[in-house]
Structure 1
Amino acid sequence: MVDESDVKKALNGREHPLSITLAIGCLKVLFFVYDVITYIPFKIFADPAAKLERSKRIKAEPENTSTDAVWTNVHAKNGLLTSTFEGIYDLGSQWEECVRRYGDLPCMGTREVLKVHKEKQPNGKIFEKWQMGDYQWRTYSQVDKRVNMIASGLASLGQQEKEPIILFAETREEWMTTALACMKMNFPIATIYATLGEDAVEYAINEVGAKTIFTSETLISKVKKAMSNGASSIENIIFFDSVDPASRGESVDVSLPFTLLSFDQLLSRGEPHPVPIRAKKDDLALIMYTSGTTGNPKGVMISHGNIVAATVGQGFSINLTSNDRYIGYLPLAHILEVCAEMVGLTKGVRIGYSSAQTLFDRAPKILKGEHGDCWALQPTLMACVPAVMDRIFKAVIDEVNANSEIFKELFKVCYERKRLRYEEGYSSFLLNKLVFNRIGKLLGGNVRQILSGGAPLSPETQRFMNICFCCPVVQGYGLTETCGGGTIADVDDLSTGTVGPPLPCCEILLQEWAEAGYSPKNTPPQGEILISGPNVAHGYFKNEEKTKEEFVSVNGKRFFATGDIGEFREDGSLKIIDRKKDLLKLAHGEYISLGKVETNLLTNPLIDNVCVYGDSNKSYLVALVVPNQKNFTQLAEKAGADTSNFEKLCVDKKAVEALQKELSSYASAKLQRVEIPQKLFVCHEPWTPTSGLLTEALKLKRKNIEKAYRKELDELYK
């Protein structure tokens, strides 16, 4: 649980003068008077006791008291949910039912790019700044016409049922429209991240063996490179136009020895009339390539029935109506975004497409003085990965720290006041109106629920987002192999750190891992998380050995072994406490969770990224740190270091020692002494998917990082 010290540390907490003390005292008196006046109205109209009761209610239970008991959502006692619409188990039919129900409602929207300004930097790099217009919308019926045109257009190219098609592009309306067409026609879709390197793209194309690939105009060169290196199955390349109206067509070489069509040209080959749905429940819908923290990406085989089941399970846990607006900006090559959009479509939600580069007013590609996509769309629901949430958290902290001392101190008092009231079941209408609604405008001002998935979210960041954005921040847990479905926290749960109960489409078994002391016999029950249900994928594409290794049978039931360690709370909510691959035993026999240490350190404003490393023959941890340039430079100045050259600053002894001291102090309240890294190496270059040090979901590629910094890690242990 987050306490006041967490925020004080982040906000450079220190002793304050008498004037600020008096101001804080007056504010607390006002809070007391407000509490007295509003006690009875709260009791009548927003009873906090009722909120606390909803928060603590039982959400899942084991089927019996044995050690191999399966935990099931209380809403699935009569059987697991398998479909949103009765009798519909394929995605083409599910989409047609959405069109039947919501035909005239807005469905998908894209924001017009009016002009791209190219700004040359002193180092020679070109930064793009976009001038953007409004969202342009298509209704469900209009989208369906385009879906049918794509489907019949692909048939005209000779595409056959069950032949895979590759989607290698960034998140945009055309991606999902194409996917829906393929799902109707029973063309399995192989997804490849737009940010994957050339080797990984070539590997995926070769393994799939598809003859048709959809890509973006700017990515045609990567496809051509893969083809020249031996990826020879491709016969048709269909590209989505560049978002920059001034550069459209620049990347297109019409003399290529294969069919090259723009998306509009493909549409013109098709017909808007309905096409017959060919897919069945067990047919392959996706070959989804995981971003891969080690080695080549794995293709997960996901059926129509898997996605339909995951959609109903997740949709059951998220309260949505046709009045909601969802902002789609996470990679559609990631199961989290695919399922989030599928859930939205079954509820009649409108999806406005965006990107991490244009999401906020201060996003990298937004022209100064222009507004980001959140301002234009004003979403009511958004999904985030923890890396994005941590950036938002730090951005708000930096904004507060840029103000006067009295503002910072009063903000801390208001934050702590709202935190206490929140955990007691109260709403803070006055504080929201006067303080926190201003912060909420960063996300458009209308967000009523934020979903976090893809990696563990620190309790500190979760609570901070809860309070500052005036809406629930709920964690979910799942993997590509479980079609993104596993658990989602209850929106009424006021606690932090839990990923919630099993979805009503699946069930969870905790399996003993005796070596590390995790057992269902423990109190609370602990163990490796195994997930079973209709949302569990068929296995790995062309990799039977890996399929047998990770998809296991327990008491005659098929489970996916996640490698994550969890424990169940009394209310049936799951908490992720470790990961097998991230667990390290030091020389004195202590088990250390590297992920836990990194999650805690990442909330410090001095850090943009961190990889903790341990040698089993040593008694302490070390860490590779990517600092926040602005905050690290300010710290170094106070330590007396020369800050004129950032690369040199990162190896400056005074600066590194100051950072080590700050991080040790910051972590001391959350981590045991043996968990705190004793030595640091400060990296001057950020880690990115392009550099091969992060996955496309922004997770650490631990082995790649260790290899890249082998010399530095060895030096830290000398």
Structure 2
Amino acid sequence: MSSTLSIEYGWFFSAVYSVISAGAFCFDVLTFPIYLILQNPIRRLQLSKSQRADIIDRKHDYITLKTTKKPSKAHDEIDENNIETMAELSDYITKKQREKRCLGTRQILGEEDEQQSNGRVFKKFNLGEYTWLTFTDVDRLATQFGRGLRQFVVKPKQPIAILAETRAKWMVAAQAAFKHSIPLVTIYVTLGDEAIAHAINETEVEVIITSFALLPKFKNILNMTPNVKTLIYMEDQLEKLENASGYKEDVTIVAFDDVIQDATDVEELRPGPEDTAIIMYTSGSTGIPKGVKLLHKNMVASVKAFMDCTPMYENEIVLGYLPLAHVFELIVEVGMMFLGMKIGYSSALTMIDTASKIKRGTKGDATELKPTFMCSVPLILDRISKAIREKVNNSNPVKKMLFDFGYNYKSRWLRWGFQTPLVDLVVFRATKNILGGDLHLMAVGGAPLTGETHELIRVCLGVDALQGYGLTETCACAANQDAYDMEYERVGPPMTMALVRIANWEEGNYFVTDKPNPRGEIIIGGDMVSPGYFKNEEKTKEEFFEHDGIWWFRTGDIGEVHKDGSIKIIDRKKDIVKLQAGEYVSLGKIEALLVTNRLIDNICVYADSTKSYCVALIVANQENLIKLASERLNKSGSFEELCDDPEVIKALLKAITEHGTKVKLQRFEIPEKIKLVKDVWVPETGLVTATFKLKRKEIQKYYADVLQELYR
């Protein structure tokens, strides 16, 4: 229905809105006592205002925070049983959970051609049910696979590498390595060939575990990695490896299941807490990937901290899809296994009913699995948020009015500690069903989450999205919100195993004496902090240090401490540029606020310190850019053509300026010039990390000529 019709009948919609509001008021009056008794919002409000962390050390140049939260029963259980390594943790999990379902894999029944409305044909999966391994099955397979690895002359303490998508066999391989004191070198599948080869050569691995789909990458990579002798691949459900031609001749290629089948008894050499469990190669936002050493004690400490974050129960179902090569997903999944939860694996290609590989009429993984818990990153949630808002904006005025009423109504009652089951059923049932309908809890990490997106996820999906903060160097453990925190744009207090220090950063004008809240660089200390970088002593000395018997890591992030001890990430040292007139601009802050505009899918802000303004590279939302050109400029054309059209660029810049003012950016923080780029920034391009953080240096290098042109 057109906007003209909306205006013409505005009086009608206004009257209907008033009737709905009046009806809701009467309903509230009648049901308030019932909800007050059943939901006990007073307790929730009290808990939301509780003190979450205390300052335990105060100096002129830093303060140190410690959580007020007590260890959970699961945490105490690990301590009482003297569990100090991932191998001991794995054994205990199996003994405790036995025949319960553990890891689930969706059956792929076939692949079929499906013609689209535009005549194009795409390959789509015909999917079946989930098949499950029990905890005993996982332990048995890990034990056998570990023995099989030893037969390939893998000695204890000798690293092996894994480069594979998230799946059950990834976790089995990790457990196998832990059991035999084999350090596991984890590499993101989205890294370029040279970066992958760097990680393999630096760690001198001879055995690599990969997937059938990624085997072709090694036709090139093996020519750059002379030490590799064996390539083990996880089998595909549909295809078989017919021949191994094109691969380096002296490399043995063997199937994952064959390693298990051919294994013989080998004595296990159990690891100690100080032994290396993982060398995790980050796809960091700067430079070549660094190998972060994580000891068994680091990982056990982090698992305990995650289980302390919020109450979880045995009947929870976990949707696993983030890279297990990212310590955030790995640690959370191990913690969920300890609590007896089952984990069903998925991917972005099959997660929801409308995913790109889902055959029309077939359920997506979330609909089939009906998860209650999952991990996510802000970029995925931003996309969900934009998709919901776009669908609402394109709906007829009645539906839009109903959505807006329901959104405002629920948002208000949530702030008062109440749930709104009737509004959830009438207004938000469809949005909640996007991820299966039963999801109630989500751990969010990897980057800052905007308040706008955070609120929408809570309101529309009915999910407690708990934002956390951590780094690979701290085993993903630092700070985390609890389920009673009603605030947005903060990451909660320190986790139970972490100490958080806020230190002065004079160059950026951040001090612990700032009012009303102390501000400064975040420094993390505790048992979960990595001992340092693999074969990089110089970088280790630069970013890690010992003080008062505690090992600390300088994050480079700037935090602000709220009255209750919760932390808000407000800046990053490497993202701050001083402009010609002396103003400091935080590139990351500007990007986080501007990317909430529906016209922008991604943005990289750049500032030259010799200039008085900043500029931006923008990946526009294709559908909305075409709509902008049509409705405001009466222009048509392909997305690529519109990206080069000066009038379209001018209109988008105007929209960005208006949005920047709306989100309270200063005038000097709003980009004065922009360039619309035609390529989507995905990890495969090397311009963003596996968790979709900008690789700022790589982007600036790739678009060097464009940035130079913007400043002319």
Place the TM-score, normalised by the shorter chain, in its bin: over 0.9
1:104 aligns with 2:99: yes
Match of residue 413 from structure 1: 405
Separation in 1 of the partners of 2:382 and 2:500? 29
Cα distance per residue 1:48-85 (max 9 Å; x no partner): 2321111110111011443433211113699xx79835
Separation in 1 of the partners of 2:445 and 2:123? 29
1:182 aligns with 2:177: yes
Match of residue 558 from structure 1: 551
Separation in 2 of the partners of 1:559 and 1:694? 27
Residues 604 and 215 of structure 1, relative CA distance in 2, 3 Å threshold: same
Cα distance per residue 1:561-586 (max 9 Å; x no partner): 00000011111111101000111111
Residues 260 and 578 of structure 1, relative CA distance in 2, 3 Å threshold: same
Match of residue 509 from structure 2: 517
1:40 aligns with 2:33: yes
**Alignment-mate amino acid for residue 222 of structure 2:** M
Q: Indicate if the aligned counterparts of 1:148 and 1:270 stay in contact, CA closer than 8 A.
A: no
For residue 308 of structure 1, report the CA deviation from its aligned partner.
0.3
1:613 aligns with 2:621: no
Match of residue 593 from structure 2: 600
Aligned to 1:599, the other structure's residue is in SS state helix
- Once the two structures are superposed, the pairs formed by residues 369-448 of structure 1 within 5 Å of their partners are 369-448=361-440
Cα distance per residue 1:465-508 (max 9 Å; x no partner): 00011121110100000000001101111111110111101101
For residue 101 of structure 1, report the CA deviation from its aligned partner.
0.8
For residue 223 of structure 1, report the CA deviation from its aligned partner.
2.4
Match of residue 142 from structure 1: 137
- Once the two structures are superposed, the pairs formed by residues 263-278 of structure 1 within 5 Å of their partners are 263-270=256-263, 276=268, 278=270
1:673 aligns with 2:658: no
Aligned length: 701
Separation in 2 of the partners of 1:106 and 1:82? 24
Residues 291 and 499 of structure 1, relative CA distance in 2, 3 Å threshold: same
1:163 aligns with 2:155: no
Residues 343 and 15 of structure 1, relative CA distance in 2, 3 Å threshold: farther
For residue 667 of structure 1, report the CA deviation from its aligned partner.
2.2
Residues 90 and 277 of structure 1, relative CA distance in 2, 3 Å threshold: farther
Match of 1:28 among 18, 21, 25: 21
The farther-off stretch of 548-557 and 459-468 is: 548-557
In structure 1, stretches of 5+ residues that fail to align are 1-12
Residues 189 and 630 of structure 1, relative CA distance in 2, 3 Å threshold: same
1:715 aligns with 2:705: no
- Once the two structures are superposed, the pairs formed by residues 24-423 of structure 1 within 5 Å of their partners are 24-67=17-60, 68-75=62-69, 84-86=78-80, 87-117=82-112, 127-229=122-224, 231-243=225-237, 245=238, 247-250=239-242, 252-253=244-245, 256-270=249-263, 276=268, 278-423=270-415
Q: Indicate if the aligned counterparts of 1:167 and 1:215 stay in contact, CA closer than 8 A.
A: yes
Aligned to 1:238, the other structure's residue is in SS state strand
Separation in 1 of the partners of 2:424 and 2:267? 50
In structure 2, stretches of 5+ residues that fail to align are 1-5
For residue 137 of structure 1, report the CA deviation from its aligned partner.
0.4
Cα distance per residue 1:299-356 (max 9 Å; x no partner): 0000011000000001110322221111110011111111111111111110101111
**Alignment-mate amino acid for residue 691 of structure 2:** A
For residue 256 of structure 1, report the CA deviation from its aligned partner.
3.3
Separation in 1 of the partners of 2:640 and 2:508? 41
Q: TM-score, normalised by structure 2?
A: 0.95
Q: Indicate if the aligned counterparts of 2:366 and 2:435 stay in contact, CA closer than 8 A.
A: yes
Separation in 1 of the partners of 2:462 and 2:65? 32
The farther-off stretch of 393-402 and 298-307 is: 393-402
Aligned to 1:69, the other structure's residue is in SS state strand
Match of residue 489 from structure 1: 481
For residue 41 of structure 1, report the CA deviation from its aligned partner.
1.7
1:628 aligns with 2:625: no
Match of residue 3 from structure 2: none
Q: Indicate if the aligned counterparts of 1:474 and 1:491 stay in contact, CA closer than 8 A.
A: yes
The farther-off stretch of 215-224 and 274-283 is: 274-283
Cα RMSD between the aligned structures? 2.3
Residues 333 and 277 of structure 1, relative CA distance in 2, 3 Å threshold: same
Separation in 1 of the partners of 2:200 and 2:129? 36
For residue 696 of structure 1, report the CA deviation from its aligned partner.
1.7
Aligned to 1:467, the other structure's residue is in SS state helix
Separation in 2 of the partners of 1:120 and 1:275? 55
Match of 1:688 among 679, 682, 689: 682
Cα distance per residue 1:106-135 (max 9 Å; x no partner): 000100111123569999998432111110
Cα distance per residue 1:538-566 (max 9 Å; x no partner): 10000000000000234453210000000
Residues 643 and 564 of structure 1, relative CA distance in 2, 3 Å threshold: same
Separation in 2 of the partners of 1:179 and 1:500? 30
Q: TM-score, normalised by structure 1?
A: 0.94
**Alignment-mate amino acid for residue 478 of structure 1:** G
Residues 125 and 172 of structure 1, relative CA distance in 2, 3 Å threshold: farther
Q: Indicate if the aligned counterparts of 2:682 and 2:692 stay in contact, CA closer than 8 A.
A: yes
